[in-house]
Amino acid sequence: MLLADPILSVWIAETMALARRHAATPRGVHKYQDCYDGERFRGFCATGVITEDTDIVLSAAIDAAEFWRQTGEKMVPVVFTVLSLPPDVRS
């Protein structure tokens, strides 16, 4: 559904095009700006996992928390962040 949205699809294509260009440049040419400057993202681009400007990259954060000690109930929040979007619209 993200790519069907007329605004989000443009943001994703622009962000991923920039990210893939950054990943293709040698280390040290530009300062670390975002997740796409990291070794993992660069490796995904180099090995062909990320190949298109329309690829969707997600980050997942999982944390278990015991909120109700009396009942023993636990809650496990799972938060996904769409890293293919510009940083200022991710959250």
What's the pLDDT at 32? Answer: 77
> Confidence class of residue 59 from pLDDT cuts 50, 70 and 90?
very high
82: β partners: 58
Instruction: Report the length, in residues, of the chain.
Output: 91
Site of tokens 């062909």: 48
Closest Cα partner for 20 from 47, 51, 64, 66? 51
Please check whether residue 15 is in contact with residue 50, taking contact to mean a CB–CB distance below 8 angstroms.
no
Tell me the C-alpha distance between 34 and 86, whole Å: 10
Enter the tokens of residue 47: 């090995």
Residue 2 has pLDDT above 70, yes or no: yes
